[in-house]
Each structure stands twice: as structure tokens, then as C-alpha cells.
């Protein structure tokens, strides 16, 4: 079986990208990262990719006019690299639905909340304001609606009484890394798919009733709905 080809989209420091690169190097991810693309040419993620010998695509999205046209041109350049999967790893731009339509079912995003709770930005602050007892991260299939695609897997952690947005972010980040690597490994192995109705995740040919849950000792586990 040929190794899966991944394109990673990132806008920031690239810590999730770094986790994917490390997993590939250590043999935990059987896939090739063929492109790292970003909408911020000065993003640390792009520098990280270049240092690792990975091809990059940098296209500034600020002040470039009509959003949908930019999104479609950007995604056409990403597609030209020939990826099997596209992984959004801290990509801070909502892409046009038409631009991503060819990739629905082959595009994953990691989001720092227990979706469907707290889509969008500032999730750590919003968790505290809501008085949530748990926080976590989700890997979901990307669809046209923001952070609303079917969730493949989640990782959970308790919220402490003395937590701040910064402490939540700090504690969650290594869990995010493990979750993303585990999910991308499933995708690269051809074990996950999105059903044609774009509502249900299928693992090894069987529909999931609830998102997988990351157990630090046992990896991704099925859970009851």
C-alpha cells in the first residue's frame, strides 16, 4: 500500500505540525507530508517545514480582496501538490465552501474544544466563562459550516478551579498533539471515511455512534453515545 500524501495548512507557530513531523520521523505516522501551506508568509510553521525539507506554499490572505476567489486559488495550489488528505493544524481562516467541496471527506481539522461546544475562537476563555467541568480538543471532518463537521475523535481533561485561559491552553496542547497524530494515522491507513451524507464518520467500515476518545495508555477507543 502506497504511503498517504498529506498537505498541512497552518497559520501560526506550527506545534501541531511539529508533532506530525516527529511522528513520521519516529515511525508512528506512515505518511508523507508533501506540502505545508499557510495564509501568513511569516508563520513559524512555514519556517519549521522548510527546516524539515518539506515544500511550502505561502500566500498572504490579508487585504487581498474577495475572500472566495482567494480561497479557491489557494486550494487549487494546494491540490496541485497531489495530497490524499488535507490536515488543518492551526489554520486560522474559514475557507469558502465551494473551495473545499472537492475535499469534504478528505480534510481534517483540530479544534481546541469539545465540539459541538465552543466553535470558533477564544475557546479557553469561553470554557471558563461557561463554568464547564471539562475541556478538551476535537478532530473533525471539515465541511462548509464552521467547526460543525462530524467529529472523529476527542480528548478530555478536567478544568481546575484555579485554571486560567493560559493554563488551559498549556495543559491541553500536548493532548492536542497526541490526538491529531492518532487521527491522521487512522486517515493515512485508510481506516476512516465520511459517509456520503456528510453526517456520519465510518471507522473500519462501521459507523461511529459517538466520537472516538483518546486514552493516553490505550490510544483511540470507541465510546458509548
**CB burial class (10 A; 0-12, 13-18, 19+) of residue 154?**
buried
Over residues 166-176, the pLDDT tens digits come to 999 999 999 99
- The sign of the CA dihedral 187, 191, 196, 199 is negative
pLDDT for 63: 74
Into which CATH architecture does domain 4-221 fall?
3-Layer(aba) Sandwich (3.40)
C-alpha–C-alpha distance, residues 114 and 117, integer Å: 6
Active site residue 111: yes
Measured from the Cβ of residue 75, the count of other Cβ atoms closer than 10 Å reads 23
Q: Give the sign of the dihedral formed by CA 109, CA 111, CA 115, CA 121.
A: negative
Catalytic residue (choose from 30, 111, 140, 177)? 111
The full set of domain ranges for the chain reads 4-221
Bridge-based pairing of strands 31-38 and 56-58 is parallel
Q: Write down the pLDDT at residue 132.
A: 98
Amino acid 73: pLDDT: 95
CA-closest candidate to residue 157, choices 112, 189, 198: 112
Residue 62: the pLDDT is 82
Identify the segments of the chain with pLDDT beneath 70.
1
Amino acid at each position: 500500500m502506497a504511503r498517504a500524501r498529506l498537505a498541512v495548512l497552518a497559520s501560526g507557530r506550527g506545534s501541531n505540525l511539529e508533532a506530525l513531523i516527529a511522528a513520521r520521523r519516529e515511525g508512528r505516522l506512515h505518511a508523507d507530508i508533501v506540502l505545508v501551506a499557510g495564509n501568513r508568509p511569516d508563520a513559524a510553521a512555514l519556517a519549521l517545514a522548510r527546516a524539515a525539507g518539506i515544500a511550502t506554499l505561502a500566500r498572504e490572505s490579508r487585504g487581498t480582496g474577495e475572500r472566495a476567489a482567494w480561497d479557491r486559488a489557494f486550494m487549487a495550489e494546494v491540490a496541485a501538490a497531489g495530497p490524499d488528505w488535507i490536515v488543518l493544524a492551526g489554520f486560522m481562516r474559514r475557507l469558502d465552501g465551494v473551495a473545499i467541496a472537492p475535499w469534504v471527506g478528505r480534510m481534517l481539522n483540530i479544534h481546541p474544544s469539545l465540539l459541538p461546544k465552543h466553535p470558533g475562537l477564544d475557546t479557553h476563555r469561553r470554557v471558563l466563562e461557561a463554568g464547564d467541568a471539562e475541556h478538551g480538543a476535537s478532530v473533525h471532518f471539515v465541511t462548509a459550516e464552521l467547526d460543525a463537521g462530524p467529529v472523529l475523535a476527542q480528548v478530555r481533561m478536567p478544568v481546575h478551579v484555579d485554571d486560567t485561559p493560559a493554563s488551559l491552553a498549556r495543559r491541553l496542547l500536548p493532548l492536542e498533539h497526541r490526538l491529531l497524530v492518532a487521527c491522521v494515522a487512522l486517515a493515512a491507513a485508510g481506516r476512516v471515511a465520511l459517509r456520503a451524507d456528510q453526517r456520519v464518520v465510518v471507522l473500519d467500515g462501521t459507523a461511529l455512534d459517538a466520537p472516538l476518545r483518546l486514552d493516553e495508555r490505550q490510544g483511540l477507543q470507541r465510546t458509548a453515545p
